[in-house]
Structure 1
Amino acid sequence: MSDSQNVVEAVVIPIAAARPEEYDAATRAALEHIDRQAVRAVADGRPERTRKGYAQDWASWGKFCAASGVPALAVAPGTLVMFVEWLWTQPGWKKGSFTAPSTIDRRISGTVVSARAEHGLKLEDGVARLARNRLKQLVKEMEEDGETRGRGQAPPLLVEHLIRISAACPDNLMGIRDRALVLMHFAVAGREHELAFNRVRDYAETAAGIQADLRVSKVRPRIVPVPYGSRPSICPVRAWQAWKEAADLTDSDSYAWRRLHNRWHTVMESGLQPESIGDIVTRAGERAGIDIRFTGHSPRRGLATSSRMKGHDQIVIAKQGGWAPHSKVLAGYLEVVDQWEDNALLGVL
């Protein structure tokens, strides 16, 4: 008898599996509890700033419900359209203004996420599609009427601005910190909260420069290589090294970007808040006498713009700043540069 004839094949006995509609009440309750726990675990893992933003969005939804008589948990296509129309009439960030379209879009997202994560609602996919279509209609009407809302896009902070900002930073702890922060902010195309969460260990020094670990990000964490710059005055690696030495940042677990005492200007243990990082960028531009009001988003947009001006591909830029490879937002930034380099009139007139 051959070896093959001596082999006893394993017999697999299929186990009859109950279909979901056949689950008993106890099983359904247990599975719903597991789902709620999973949603809660993901929600608790979000950055604090994201959680606060969603809480504000849900609070806005609550005000709308109180004003319109809509039940708080009635998150549906029709009520979200009503929410958009209600938000459209609400006051904006400054006196005499109205809510910006970008804020309304964020309120929609935050409300839907909160309804699912915080209140366990099982909402259909695309529940907010109708509301966003209504928002687009309102924006079109606004533009046809010549109305503007919101602050508009952040102006890009370019290399020419970095040179002036670096030169204007005073030769003290505040100036050394501000220079290093703005230059690193630009180099990693960072978001304010990404830098705010950085620890000293997240800037690993190598022979070629720094590996910046932006491990806390509400979009996509990433490790960004930051090489030495050709101009020492605006080199983010040298600026970081100068700040690290001046502030005596010897504890690798401590915050990389630290507050300074209001009176004594000594380095404090606490890190900077995301909003404070944006304020430092704004003040750095003002200190340099630049007639542009930069925001915390300006270095991020500035890296994208400056890199494109040097001919870098969108994929390369996206990787540096943590954008999706074919991000529409990033494409919009690059289009500002491309409109002159790839223009239908070139060579025609």
Structure 2
Amino acid sequence: MGKTQFAIEYAYRYEFDYEWCVRPRLAVGTRHRRMGDAATRAALEHIDHQAVRTVADGRPKSTRDAYTQDWASWGKFCNDAGVPLLAITPGTLVMFVEWLWAQPGGRKGTCTAPSTIDRRISGAVVSARAEHGVRLEDGVARLARNRLKQLVKEMEEQGETRGRGQAPPLLVEHLVKISAACPDNLMGLRDRALVLMHFAVAGREHELAFNRVRDYAETPGGIQADLRVSKVRPRVIPVPYGSRPSICPVRAWQAWKEAADLTDTDGYAWRRLHNRWHTVMDSGLQPESIGDIVTRAGERAGIETRFTGHSPRRGLATSSRLKGHDQIVIAKQGGWAPHSKVLAGYLEVVDQWEDNALLGVL
């Protein structure tokens, strides 16, 4: 693409004046003199803002929806506190934290969980930058997060709890019970395959919800699971045959695929079933529905622990660590950052018994 054509395409994309984009005054030799021109600065700021918006609009819908909720919460705070909407500073963010701390949570009779408040801070800052073009200094939310830590410490000292806490891990012994309790029909075959695959790939609910049949490529060694839609880390995961057929994710997938007649490779891998006739529908499961299936599978098996859609993901990390696997290997399987603090927290629960200062002492 030539320079002129590039300028035309760029100007069209960012809704800007083509003449400005190709004027000689922006030549390398004169650009530094023109940067001080007010019109030029305004034009560059406009392009920068539009570029940020383009990237922001490419985020997953779930992420955009979450940030929309966070910005709405910030707007309500500003209205209550008399703070200008775009006045995001270290001080106003601290006020925002204290305001959120007193707000009711998602469940009746509870207050807002610390994890929700932390996300609200991020959502407000990101939205201000991406949606409203506010220039914020790096670390603008550091003071607010320090205040949140203080409030959490006070809460713990007083014996108060907020939120549901971390999802309980769904372990191998649970998989055995869940698999055995699944009925011998389409729903049972689907639920067994879904829970086992969910565990095997340490997936997030939305990652499995977007999977098509073609994303589970069968090989002599097992299945190559392509989690191509992820808000964090798309990845291709090798899932080998399990040593126990009853909890083998590969065999469970093959059984579901055959029974549901999933011949359309572009069709959803995890399908809804008709409420009345229990026939396989073309539409796929929503991420929330995948979490509901995991919860019901545990209840059906008579397990007292209430699992959530995040439980298989945490369960794989825990079970893999119990077998001695390194954090880097586990992180690659589940799409965590190699030195993820969240993953390290999961593994610490296992390591506290294997690497304990009291071993051999008492």
Residue identity matched to 1:154: A
Provide closer, same or farther for how the CA distance between residues 213 and 17 of structure 1 changes in structure 2, counting only shifts above 3 A. farther
CA distance in 1, matches of 2:63, 2:84: 25
Match of 1:29 among 42, 52, 58: 42
Match of 2:260 among 247, 256, 271: 247
1:316 and 2:329 aligned? yes
1:201 and 2:201 aligned? no
Shift of 1:157: 0.2
Residue identity matched to 1:238: R
Match of 1:77 among 87, 90, 95: 90
Q: Secondary structure at the match of 1:19?
A: helix
CA distance in 2, matches of 1:59, 1:22: 36
CA distance in 2, matches of 1:20, 1:315: 50
Match of 2:167 among 141, 154, 157: 154
Tell me, yes or no, if the aligned pair for 2:271 and 2:282 is still in contact at 8 Å. yes
> How far does the alpha carbon of each residue in 1:279-300 deviate from its partner, in whole angstroms, 9 at most, with x for none?
0000000000001000000000
For 1:225, the equivalent position in structure 2 comes to 238
For 1:235, the equivalent position in structure 2 comes to 248
What aligned pairs does 1:184-333 form with structure 2 within 5 A after superposition? Answer: 184-333=197-346
1:93 and 2:102 aligned? no
Q: What is the CA RMSD across the aligned residues, in angstroms? A: 1.4
Residue identity matched to 1:252: T
For 1:173, the equivalent position in structure 2 comes to 186
> How far does the alpha carbon of each residue in 1:10-63 deviate from its partner, in whole angstroms, 9 at most, with x for none?
xxxx95243277343443333223212221221121111111111111111111
For 1:135, the equivalent position in structure 2 comes to 148
Shift of 1:261: 1.2
What aligned pairs does 1:23-62 form with structure 2 within 5 A after superposition? Answer: 23-62=36-75
CA distance in 2, matches of 1:44, 1:244: 35
So what's the TM-score if we normalise by structure 2? 0.90
CA distance in 2, matches of 1:333, 1:242: 32
Q: Secondary structure at the match of 2:132?
A: coil
Provide closer, same or farther for how the CA distance between residues 98 and 15 of structure 1 changes in structure 2, counting only shifts above 3 A. closer
Aligned length: 336
CA distance in 2, matches of 1:106, 1:37: 24
> How far does the alpha carbon of each residue in 1:60-89 deviate from its partner, in whole angstroms, 9 at most, with x for none?
111111111111111111111111000000
1:344 and 2:357 aligned? yes
CA distance in 1, matches of 2:53, 2:202: 31
CA distance in 1, matches of 2:217, 2:55: 29
CA distance in 2, matches of 1:261, 1:127: 50
Residue identity matched to 1:204: A
CA distance in 2, matches of 1:38, 1:212: 33
So what's the TM-score if we normalise by structure 1? 0.93
Identity fraction in percent:
87
For 1:3, the equivalent position in structure 2 comes to none
1:63 and 2:44 aligned? no
In the TM superposition, structure 1's runs of 4+ consecutive aligned residues that sit over 4 Å from their partners are none
